Structure 1
Amino acid sequence: MANFDYGELDSQLNQADNLVAEIHSSLLNGYVDENRFPAVSDLGPKLLTNQEGNQIYNQIKHELLTCESYTFAVAFITDPMLAALKPTLKIIADKGVHGRLITSNYLYFNKPVVFHELLKIPNLEVRIAEVDGFHQKGYIFQHPGYQTIIIGSANLTKNALLKNYEWSMQVNSLDNGYITNQISENIEQEWTNSQQLNQSWIDNYQTVYELNARDNKKAQRQIIKGQPGHIGEKIVPNRMQADALAQIAKLRAAGKGKGLVVSATGTGKTYLGAFDVQKFKPCRMLFLAHREQILKKSKSSFFKVIGGSRGSYGLFTGNRHDDQAKYLFATVQTLSKDKNLRQFSPEEFDYILIDEVHHLGAESYQKIMDYFHPKFYLGMTATPERSDDFSVFKVFDYNVAYEIRLQQALEEGMLCPFHYVGISDYQFADASVNTEIANYNNESKHRNRQKESFVLEHLASEERVQYILEQTEYYGYSGDVLHGLVFCSSVEEAGKLATEFTKQGYPARALSGSDSIQERQKVVQKLETGEIKYIVTVDVFNEGIDIPCVNQVVLLRNTNSSIVYIQQLGRGLRKAQGKEYVEVLDFIGNYKNNYMIPIALTGDDSCSKDDARKTVEIEPVIGLSMISFDEISKERIYQSLRASRLDDMRKLRDMYKDIKARVGRAPLLVDFYMANSVDPVIIANKKNNYAEFLLSEGEKIQLTEYENKVMTFVDRELLNGKRRHELLLLKRLLELRITTGKEVRHILEEDGCNTEAQTLASMQRILDLTFFNKNASPSRSDYGGKALVEWDSENETYSLNEEIWHALQTNEWFKRLWKDAIEAGLLRARKYKTATAFTVGEKYTRKDAMRLGNNEINVTAQNIGGYFFNEQNGFIFVTYNKSNKISESIRYEDTFVNDHTMHYYSKNNRRLTSPDIKKFTDGQRKLLMFVKRSDADDDKTFYYLGSCKYLSGSAKQEELDGKPIVSMDLELKTPVEYTLYHSIIDQQE
Structure 2
Amino acid sequence: MTEKKTIKNAILNGLYDRQYQGHQLLTPQLVGNFDGTIWETLRSELTTCKSFTWVIAFITTDMITPLKVVMADLAFRGIKGTLITSDYLGFNSPQMFRELLKIPNLKVRLADVAGFHTKGYYFTHEDYMTALIGSANFTRAALLKNYETMLKLTSTRNATLFSQITDEIQRLRHQSEPLTAKWVTEYAEDWQPPKTRIRVKNTQKIVPNKMQKAALKELQSLITRGAGKGLVISATGTGKTYLGAFAVKKACPQKFLYVVHREQIARKTMESFRRVIGGPKSDFGLISGDHHDFVPRYLFATVQTLAQKKLLQTLSPKMFDYILIDEAHRVAAPSYRRLMNHFQPVFWLGMTATPDRMDNQDVYGMFDYHIAYEIRLKDALNNQMLVPFHYVGVEDYEIDGKVISETTKLNRLVASERVKYVLTQLDYYGYCGSQPRGLVFCSRQEEARELAREFTASGHYAVALTNQDSNQRRQKAVQRLENGELEYIITVDLFNEGVDIPSLNQIVMLRNTQSKIVFLQQLGRGLRKYPGKDFVTVIDFIGNYKHNYMIPLALNDDTSCDRDQVRREVQLPQNIGVSTINFSRIASDRVLASIERTKLDSMVELRRGYHELQQRLGRRPLLLDFFRYGSISPIVFAQNNLLTNYGTFLCKLGEKVTLTQYEDQVLSFITKELLNGKRAHELILLSILQEHQEITEEQVVKVFQQNGCYVNRELLQSVMKILSLQFFDVKAGKKMKKHQYGDQPLVIFADEKYRLNPQIIEALKQNLDFYSLYTDAIKTGLALSKNYDQGHQLTLYEQYDRKDVCRLLNWPLDVSAPMYGYRIAKNECPIFITYQKQSAKQRNALYNNQLQDGQSLRWYTRSPRHLSSSEVQRLLAGVDAGKPKVKLHLFVKRSDAVGKQFYYLGTAKIDPKSVKEELLGEKKKATVGMNLILEHPLSNIMNEMLFKE
Worse-superposed segment, 150-159 or 60-69: 60-69
- Match for residue 789 of structure 1? 747
Partner Cα separation in structure 2 for residue 842 and residue 411 of structure 1: 27
- Local SS of the residue matching 1:438: coil
- Is 1:941 the counterpart of 2:901 in the alignment? yes
Alignment partners' CA distance in 1, 2:98 and 2:625: 51
Is the CA contact 2:861–2:928 (under 8 Å) kept in the aligned structure 1?
Answer: yes
Given candidates 813, 817, 823, the residue that maps to 1:857 is 813
Note the 1:744-823 alignment, pairs <5 A.
Answer: 748=704, 751-754=707-710, 758-775=714-731, 782-794=740-752, 796=753, 798-823=754-779
Q: How far apart are the structure 2 equivalents of 1:58 and 1:142?
A: 18
CA distance 1:276–1:835, shift in 2 (3 Å): farther
Q: Deviations over 1:301-335 (max 9, x none)?
A: 43444445554343322254442333322211121
1:535 is paired with a residue whose SS is strand
1:35 aligns to what?
19
C-alpha displacement of 1:404: 4.0
> Quick one: which of 574, 577, 580 aligns to 1:626?
580
Pair 90,314 (structure 1): closer, same or farther in 2 beyond 3 Å? same
Q: Aligned partners of 1:813 and 1:851: how far apart in 2?
A: 29
Matches within 5 A, 1:478-877: 478-686=432-640, 687-738=643-694, 748=704, 751-754=707-710, 758-775=714-731, 782-794=740-752, 796=753, 798-863=754-819, 865-869=821-825, 874-877=829-832
CA distance in structure 1 between the partners assigned to 2:73 and 2:215 by the alignment: 44
CA distance 1:725–1:98, shift in 2 (3 Å): closer
Determine whether 1:165 maps to 2:147.
yes
The C-alpha deviation readout for 1:631-673, integer Å capped at 9, x for no partner, is 3323322332333222223333333333344444543223333
The 1:954/1:890 distance shift into structure 2, 3 A limit, reads farther
Q: Quick one: which amino acid aligns to residue 157 of structure 1?
A: T
Is there any run of 5+ residues in structure 1 with no aligned partner, and where? Answer: 1-16, 226-230, 442-454
Deviation at 1:147, TM superposition (A): 3.5
Q: Which of the residues 929, 932, 949 maps onto 1:969?
A: 932
With over 3 angstroms needed to count, the CA separation of the structure-2 counterparts of 1:637 and 1:347, relative to structure 1, is same
2:31 to 45, 48, 59: 48
Structure 2 counterpart of 1:983, which letter?
M
- 1:377 maps onto 2:348 in alignment: yes
Q: In the alignment, does 2:256 pair up with 1:295?
A: no
Residue deviations 1:598-645 (CA, integer Å, cap 9, x gap): 222222222233333322222322322222222332332233233322
Give CA deviations for 1:557-582 in whole Å, capped at 9, x if unaligned.
11222221222122112222222221
* Structure 1 position 864, deviation (Å): 5.6
Q: Aligned with 1:914: secondary structure?
A: helix
Q: Secondary structure at the match of 1:896?
A: coil
* 1:715-758 CA-partner distances (Å, limit 9, x unpaired): 11122222333333333444454456566566555544445555
Tell whether the 8 Å contact from 1:284 to 1:348 is kept in structure 2 after alignment: yes
CA contact (8 A) 1:733 1:799 kept: yes
- Which amino acid in structure 2 is aligned with residue 288 of structure 1? V
Change (3 A) 1:352 1:76: same
- After TM superposition, the structure 1 stretch with the greater mean CA deviation from structure 2, 102-111 or 696-705, is 696-705
Q: Structure 1 residue 106: deviation in Å?
A: 1.4
How far did residue 783 of structure 1 move? Answer: 1.1
Larger mean Cα displacement after TM superposition, 122-131 or 77-86: 122-131
> Retained in 1: the 8 A contact 2:852–2:858?
yes
Tell me what 2:833 maps to.
878
Match of 1:263 among 234, 243, 256: 234
More helix by share: 1
Q: Tell me, in whole angstroms, the C-alpha distance in 2 between the residues paired with 1:378 and 1:527.
A: 34
Distance 1:143 1:754, change over 3 A: closer
Letter of the structure 2 residue corresponding to residue 931 of structure 1: V
Tell whether the 8 Å contact from 1:889 to 1:963 is kept in structure 2 after alignment.
no
What is the TM-score with the length of structure 1 in the denominator? 0.87
Amino acid at match of 2:602: D
Partners of 1:310 and 1:742 lie apart in 2 by 77
Residues 72, 584 of structure 2: 8 Å contact kept: no
Task: Report the alpha carbon displacement of residue 74 of structure 1 after superposing the two structures with TM.
Answer: 0.7
Change in CA separation of 1:32 and 1:664 when aligned onto 2, cut-off 3 Å: closer
- Tell me, in whole angstroms, the C-alpha distance in 2 between the residues paired with 1:553 and 1:866: 50
After alignment, is 513-522 or 778-787 more displaced?
Answer: 778-787
C-alpha deviation, 1:408, in angstroms = 4.1
Q: Which whole-Å CA distance do the structure 1 matches of 2:676 and 2:373 have between them?
A: 27
Query: 1 CA distance for matches of 2:21 and 2:697?
Result: 48
Q: CA RMSD in A?
A: 3.1
Alignment counterpart, residue 981 of structure 1, candidates 934, 943, 946: 943
* Offset, 1:553: 0.6
Q: Distance in 1 between matches of 2:69 and 2:279?
A: 51
Residues 874 and 886, structure 2, Cα contact 8 Å, conserved in 1: no
Residue range with higher mean Cα deviation, 562-571 or 860-869: 860-869
Compute the TM-score of the two structures, normalised by the length of structure 2.
0.91
Q: Contact between 1:74 and 1:103, CA under 8 Å: does it hold in 2? A: yes
Quick check: 1:906–1:965 contact (8 Å CA) kept in 2?
A: yes
Question: Contact (CA 8 Å) 1:48, 1:169: kept in 2 or not?
Answer: yes
Query: Structure 1 806/424 Cα, relative in aligned 2: closer, same or farther at 3 Å?
Result: same
Shift of 1:75: 0.4
Task: Give structure 2 stretches of 5+ with no counterpart.
Answer: none
Q: Secondary structure at the match of 2:558?
A: coil
**1:709 Cα deviation (Å)?**
0.8
* Equivalence for 1:916: 875
Map of 1:337 onto structure 2: 308
1:394 aligns to what?
365
SS at match of 1:171: strand
Match of 2:378 in 1: 407
- The structure-2 alpha-carbon separation of the partners of 1:919 and 1:52, relative to structure 1 and needing over 3 Å to count, comes to farther
1:400-437 residue CA offsets vs partner (Å, 9 max, x unmatched): 333343334334443322211122212224x5xx47x5
Q: Which amino acid aligns with 1:540?
A: L
Amino acid at match of 2:788: Y
Cα 1:736–1:418 shift into 2, 3 Å: same
**Corresponding letter in the other structure for 2:883:** D
**Match 2:915 to one of 941, 956, 981:** 956
In structure 1, distance between residues paired with 2:711 and 2:464: 67
Distance across 2 between alignment mates of 1:822 and 1:232: 54
Q: Check conservation: 2:856, 2:931, Cα contact below 8 A.
A: no
Letter in 2 for 1:152: G
Q: 1:565 to 1:251 in 2, by over 3 A?
A: same
Change (3 A) 1:779 1:19: closer
Q: Does structure 2 conserve the Cα–Cα contact (< 8 Å) formed by 1:774 and 1:781?
A: no
Identity over the aligned pairs, expressed in percent? 44
The farther-off stretch of 895-904 and 101-110 is 895-904
SS at match of 1:782: coil
